[in-house]
Structure 1
Amino acid sequence: MNIIRLGFNIDHVATIRNARGGLHPDPLRAAEIALKAGADGITLHLREDRRHIRDDDLARVSASIDAPINLEMAVTNEMLGIAIATRPHAVCLVPEKRQEVTTEGGLDAAGMIETLAPFVARLKDAEIRVSLFIDPDIAQVEAAARIGAPVVELHTGTYAENYGHEAELARLASAASRAAALGIECHAGHGLTFGNVAPVAALPPIAELNIGHFLVGEAVFLGLPVVIAEMKARIVAARHETGVSQ
């Protein structure tokens, strides 16, 4: 009842590999290690410019991993074809700009209803669970419901940049509660660390946290199994402290 899951994003393992070329470090190996250490699923973002994960990474992970795979992707016909061919457990639709270093904000679901509704329907027809990566805004959550998305992932970047400001946590709590009231499963991610993850993990409607950059960076110092186990322990402890059953 109301469990909280940890999705490990392997993108920045690929970033390190791509910086020099070749095959090392292997994102698939990172995924396997993370799952053994306590991660519940694997997230990867196949960007249009392939700056992180490449098509062969997606193919190898899909063929080798039994745990849920969450494919982050832009709303394009190319990505729709890849998703339908690959059939990951879930697809998270994200905004994407070539000039950005990382995803800078949520998808404008409220302004893209006519575009997103048929796109989401195609993915659902392929039996792929669909999530929309949105800012923690009530209007965006309600738009996701109108579009027919069963899941939203709340962008926690502003919260992470303003950690300690109660207003940002309140925005997340309000959006998560509205999602739950509409029957939408709520995830969260972006910029989460050991230091700021507990308040988000403690929000009862949050079912999953997707974390990548911090875990890959911290693994340089402590090792990947250690940081995955530590993050999982922290989010589970935060959930227990709210009195919500696991």
Structure 2
Amino acid sequence: MKRLRLGVNIDHVATIRNARGGLHPDPVRAAAIATEAGADGVTAHLREDRRHITDGDIDRLMAELTLPLNLEMAATMEMLDIALVHRPHAACIVPERREERTTEGGLDAAGQHNSLTPFVGRLREAGIRVSLFVAPDRRQMEAAARLGVPVVELHTGPYAHDAGERELDRLRDAAEYGAGLGLEIHAGHGLTFDNVGLVAAIPQLAELNIGHFIIGEAVFIGLGPAVRAMRAAMDAGRPVTG
């Protein structure tokens, strides 16, 4: 199997900074450390309420980052305009509710096909690689393929919270089915050193995006070591064969 890419989400470095105000800790510095530690990309979610990542952070990431930036965004005109100005490598459209603590559930690509179509079209016309954060469900894979997106990111939260065979089977089935439709398959949410191996072993997966756990572990062992340890846990789950 091919090497699985690791995208490091730096949102919660900004969460800590914003809890007190000021400039420290700096999420852009975190992105640089993750780069040095072997990350393959950086993810940042610019939320409507700017609870963690800010517009200034995106400005600096686009100017200073040497890895591809994956901008997580809601399907709103404000976020579309920001994406079109910055033109990150990728934009992952996610569901967003102001009152939620973190992203809850996947995007209903099937039910929101008509409203998502213009967003996907504008982003793709700008040369931005579009992905949808969706539940591991065949109906959502089919909807993503109809929308013409090249990538889906499977929501691993239910698996991470339950760690049961049923949720793992859902991930395996969706990854196989989506890849058969021509989609590149990514995954993320709630993954840890302990549960990432079985997800990494799913052969159709190309990339995992992991943030909260890595930032939490960084408090104890440092960000660079936390990124390297996650990389090692992923590689243990998927030995590279070529």
TM-score if structure 1 supplies the norm length? Answer: 0.97
1:105 equivalent to 2:105? Answer: yes
Partner of 1:161: 161
Secondary structure of 2:72's aligned partner: strand
Secondary structure of 1:111's aligned partner: coil
**Superposed, which structure 2 residues align to 1:13-162 within 5 Å?**
13-162=13-162
> Which amino acid in structure 1 is aligned with residue 72 of structure 2?
E
Partner of 2:233: 234
Secondary structure of 2:110's aligned partner: helix
Q: What are the superposed Cα offsets for residues 203-234 of structure 1, whole Å, 9 maximum, x if unpaired? A: 00110000000000000001111110010111
Q: What are the superposed Cα offsets for residues 47-97 of structure 1, whole Å, 9 maximum, x if unpaired? A: 000001000000101100121100000000010000010010000000000
Secondary structure of 1:207's aligned partner: strand
Partner of 2:175: 176
Select 2:241's aligned residue among 234, 237, 245.
245
Would the aligned equivalents of 1:33 and 1:225 in 2 still touch at CA under 8 Å? yes
Give the whole-Å Cα distance in 1 for the aligned partners of 2:141 and 2:189.
18
> Which amino acid in structure 1 is aligned with residue 57 of structure 2?
D
Give the whole-Å Cα distance in 1 for the aligned partners of 2:101 and 2:48.
13
Unaligned runs of 5+ in 2: none
Please state how far the C-alpha of 1:2 moved relative to its aligned partner.
2.9
Would the aligned equivalents of 1:28 and 1:61 in 2 still touch at CA under 8 Å? yes
Secondary structure of 2:238's aligned partner: helix
**Percent of pairs with identical residues:** 64
Give the whole-Å Cα distance in 2 for the aligned partners of 1:161 and 1:228.
21
Q: What are the superposed Cα offsets for residues 99-130 of structure 1, whole Å, 9 maximum, x if unpaired? A: 10000110000001111122101100000000
> Which amino acid in structure 2 is aligned with residue 63 of structure 1?
A
Runs of 4 or more consecutive aligned structure 1 residues displaced over 4 Å after TM superposition:
none
Give the whole-Å Cα distance in 1 for the aligned partners of 2:86 and 2:114.
25
Would the aligned equivalents of 1:2 and 1:205 in 2 still touch at CA under 8 Å? no
Give the whole-Å Cα distance in 2 for the aligned partners of 1:3 and 1:43.
19
> Which amino acid in structure 2 is aligned with residue 176 of structure 1?
A
**Superposed, which structure 2 residues align to 1:202-213 within 5 Å?**
202-213=201-212
Give the whole-Å Cα distance in 2 for the aligned partners of 1:239 and 1:84.
36
Give the whole-Å Cα distance in 2 for the aligned partners of 1:141 and 1:98.
26
Please state how far the C-alpha of 1:157 moved relative to its aligned partner.
0.4
Give the whole-Å Cα distance in 1 for the aligned partners of 2:70 and 2:140.
21
Secondary structure of 1:95's aligned partner: coil
Secondary structure of 1:116's aligned partner: helix
Give the whole-Å Cα distance in 1 for the aligned partners of 2:148 and 2:154.
16
The total of aligned residue pairs comes to 242
Would the aligned equivalents of 1:154 and 1:188 in 2 still touch at CA under 8 Å? yes
Please state how far the C-alpha of 1:3 moved relative to its aligned partner.
2.5
Give the whole-Å Cα distance in 2 for the aligned partners of 1:109 and 1:181.
18
Secondary structure of 1:109's aligned partner: coil
Q: What are the superposed Cα offsets for residues 120-171 of structure 1, whole Å, 9 maximum, x if unpaired? A: 01100000000000000110011000011100000000000101x1010000
Partner of 1:216: 215
1:190 equivalent to 2:186? Answer: no
Give the whole-Å Cα distance in 2 for the aligned partners of 1:226 and 1:19.
24
